[in-house]
Chains A and B, each alone.
Chain A
């Protein structure tokens, strides 16, 4: 028991150190470049928490980050890297928007459900390709998913381009028509864009937790991730579970994009995601690859996304500062396990001699 407590204290410590170091790094970079780091960080916090709207935007950004991270985790637990979330988000958005403006006269609950299922299916299809290539041909899923990203981006800009099939003929904007009211996810906080999606995201976090840790499928999926060869020897159909993991992973990417369209934008335009698919990687690692843990880390990144807009306006620091902090957090999280083990090892050896 005490060992468990020690472990979780150590883990929490690890996460906090990574966050602290990332912000420290950001502070130094800002300082060197002649910005005022205090003003920058101050406006970051003020932007995210200083107003009702800001706080709502924080939760709004948290939503796709949770969905995206659930996708990343599902692949990762099977030992795979889904770098294709950004593309799967784009596809989910395309399908949701299309179903949202073409199907008329449905009750909202049914219409929204159809759109989200469609978005999920689109994302799942986008994950299926690289999953199949990996399982059948051994093509690294990173290359497969990245190629699928670029294809998704180009397809989505084609669809809303001047002569594209989803282009709204009534405006000059490269965007699709607006979805019907029945497809819009209901907003829950007056005067803000906050919608029900956040609860859906939290609900699905528990669903994925259950799937991974309380079902046979989840057990086998994780077994493949732990040791592919042992899993195979144990009679698990490894290629099948790899494909399944990528499909499930893409599915959540698709939902992230779909909910974003149905809850926020109400229409499709190219590159509507500001990079949630990439943030999701950092969110997942910081959330220790736990479907519950990522609720917290998604909130942290939602805060960064939301606050960065005011930071850009007040301190003049590009909102891409977030990518830098994201990169550094991933970096330190990647470092934390090996370094932690190394320190523990050294410490134990010092305490007990070479017998351990």
Chain B
């Protein structure tokens, strides 16, 4: 009982919020792209490229410009996937896999050029510091948990209602969803199917890039090879768990992140379970949650993954 108390301290909730952030970006990106009918398993690679670009940008131009650069590069990768999926009508999984594998190697090619003697890892770069929110930080119990976080964490959580609003309360969102459910019908009433999908997939790339930037210039202070460690995929799983809705995805992200924070805290508290095995917890939980959630089949947008041929 004592050890459980050591694990469940206040810090675990703070770190849950921090760990949620990158997954949440991916999950929100997933909501956008899949609602428009394009599967994007390339979020992982886009996030990785975003993390790399942000570290490079931060080193040369400072952390905030670094973040912008990370978002930008994520968006470029998103645009690439949109081009492959919408214009070329290639298999979306194949296109995204190309992006994922490319992102695994590409940074290692650049790092030794920018920094002699470095391999697979950038030097330490300037980071974005946490901020104290004046009134909130003074609330007892809750204050220390949510009052003193990295600005990007706040941005991520604020983006949840924003994405929800865009998808479900605006004309653009209605069009994106229409295109994802029934592109032919949408086309008939004059919606530009290709444009909607381009927008949605590119935005998903921007979001993934943002999540990656958080990893390299806020959560950690450098880029290292494959540092995303499956967060893009976990984000997608969270999105499915949340039934393709931002708030549902948020809940799932919090659960997965709590599992991760729990294992880290348990390690620190000296729980007699080998650390490597504790590391599997978030992945196991993702699988169990997905299997247990549904009972019946997970049903996404009807046209998800299908290219649209205009005739």
Interface of A with B (CB < 8 Å)?
29, 33-35, 81, 83, 129, 133, 136-140, 142-144, 146-151, 154-155, 157-158, 161, 163-164, 275, 278, 281-282, 285, 316-318, 320-324, 326-328, 330-331, 333-335, 337-339
Contact = CB atoms under 8 A, between A and B. Distances in A.
Given A151-B280, A327-B101, A164 B274 contact: yes
9 contacts: A83-B97, A143-B233, A143-B236, A158-B274, A161-B276, A278-B101, A320-B108, A326-B101, A331-B84
Contacts of B299: 138
Given A129-B287, A150-B229, A339 B88 contact: yes
A328 B109 contact: no
Given A137-B298, A154-B276, A322-B105, A333 B112 contact: no
B93 A137 contact: no
A157 B276 contact: yes
B283 A147 contact: yes
Interface in B232-247: 233-234, 236-237, 240
Given A140-B240, A143-B237, A143-B240, A323 B276 contact: no
Contacts of A154: 276-277, 279-280, 283
Interface string B224-261: 01000110011011001000000000000000000000
B237 A147 contact: yes
B276 A155 contact: yes
Nearest to A158: B276
Contact of B230 (A150, A320, A333): A150
Contacts of A320: 104-106, 108-109, 120, 225
Contacts of B136: none
B124 to A, nearest CB: 20
B294 interface: yes
Contacts of B93: 81, 142
- Residue from A29, A146, A338 with most neighbouring chain B CB atoms (10 Å): A146
B99 interface: yes
B91 A327 contact: no
B189 to A, nearest CB: 26
Contact of A161 (B90, B97, B274, B294): B274
Contacts of B290: 133, 137, 139, 143-144
Given A158-B274, A321-B105, A337 B298 contact: no
Contact of A318 (B108, B280, B287): B108
A331 B298 CA distance: 29
Given A157-B276, A331-B84, A338-B88, A33 B230 contact: no
A34 B105 CA distance: 18
Contacts of B102: 323-324, 326-328, 331
A151 B112 CA distance: 31
B246 to A, nearest CB: 19
A321 B109 contact: yes
Given A285-B94, A320-B104, A331-B102, 15 more contacts: A33-B109, A133-B291, A137-B294, A138-B299, A143-B290, A144-B287, A146-B230, A149-B230, A154-B279, A158-B274, A161-B274, A281-B97, A318-B111, A322-B105, A323-B106
Contacts of A317: 109
Contacts of A163: 274
Contacts of A327: 98-106
Nearest to B229: A150
Given A146-B230, A147-B287, A320-B108, A338 B89 contact: yes
Contact of A138 (B95, B109, B298): B298
Contacts of A326: 101-102, 105
B105 A324 contact: yes
B294 A323 contact: no
A174 B227 CA distance: 22
B41 interface: yes
A88 to B, nearest CB: 15
B98 A334 contact: yes
Contact of B94 (A29, A140, A330): A330
B294 to A, nearest CB: 5
Contacts of A144: 287, 290
Contacts of B110: 33
A59 B300 CA distance: 44
B41 to A, nearest CB: 5
A30 to B, nearest CB: 8
Contacts of B294: 137-139
A133 B287 contact: yes
Interface string B103-133: 1111011111100000110000000000000
Given A83-B97, A137-B298, A334-B94, A324 B109 contact: yes
